[in-house]
Amino acid sequence: MLKLAGARLLEERDAVLVRSVLDSAPVAACMVAARVEEAGIHPLRLGGELWGYGGKLTGMCFSGANLIPLRGGPAAMRAFADRALRRRRVCSSLVGPAEQVLALWNEVAAQWGPAREVRADQPLMALSEPPRVAPDPLVRPVRPDELDRYLPAAIAMFTEEVGVDPSSDGGAASYRARVADLIAGGRAFARFEGGEVVFKAEIGALSRTVGQIQGVWVHPDRRSTGLGTAGTAAVADRLVRGLGRTASLYVNGYNTAARVAYQKVGFRQVGSFGTVLL
């Protein structure tokens, strides 16, 4: 592959341009914006690198545990691919706007593939007004002392969604720490019945304008009972009315039941995400 000019590591001097890119698509950029707002652009603080393409950042990509291309045409994706392929792969997935994700994957697939799964159609949905259905009043923030009761539900959700048990292959301690951090930050929510989680969801990323809901899960015995709809409404309500943010999430296109539930809550599609699981 030809080495292309223009794919470069962004620095603090690029902060104004970076903010302009993030502000231009706040829902799609929420995952990256939340990191940048908290840590700045320096890789050691950010937990990854921001790459830019073009003098006015016609392309931008975050490279860390996930590879997240936010904007750019074919030339930018080729440039980002060239930079990614010149080093050891550290990401476990590509995720972000579908057009960029699929184009970038096309450039790196020969060396990084085969993928475990390519999810090319994931509607990106947003809600900026109070939910249209009544929030479940029993859905609340999980307390730190409830970690051991919450963790099995989080593992079950991750395993169902990604196809890998996050606690296997030596990952138990790191996944437990990740969930504990969400709980400590007041970003994990659940409905408990008899000491067991029957609904859960988390605010995975929180920028100054958008909160991204992730990990929505209903106990198998309680599915198709409305718990998912009312529970998601409760978390969305916390974001919209409690925190003054737009609530967002993305869902697999084939998950018709979830899409219908989110539409009942009031979510509307504002874009399309894609995910490549490695």
More confident of the two residues 5 and 30: 30
Evaluate if residue 42 carries a pLDDT over 60: yes
Mean pLDDT of 59-63: 98
Asked if the model's pLDDT at residue 3 lies above 70, the reply is no
Q: What's the start-to-end Cα distance of the chain, in Å? A: 21
CATH of 140-270, one of 3.40.50.2020, 3.40.630.30, 3.30.479.10, 3.40.720.10: 3.40.630.30
Summarised one tens digit per residue, pLDDT across range 167-221 is: 888 889 999 999 999 999 999 999 999 999 999 999 999 999 999 999 999 999 9
Of 190, 183, 193, nearest in space to 144 by CA: 183
Domain coordinates of the chain in residue numbers? 8-113, 140-270
pLDDT in tens, 65-80: 999 999 999 999 999 9
- Report pLDDT digits (tens) over 127-157: 999 999 999 999 999 999 999 999 999 999 9
* Per-residue model confidence (pLDDT) at position 5: 60
The single residue listed with the structure tokens 């084939």 is: 254
Q: Percent of the chain, pLDDT > 70?
A: 98
Task: Write down the pLDDT at residue 167.
Answer: 87
Tell me how many degrees the CA angle 257-268-123 measures, rounded to the nearest 5: 60
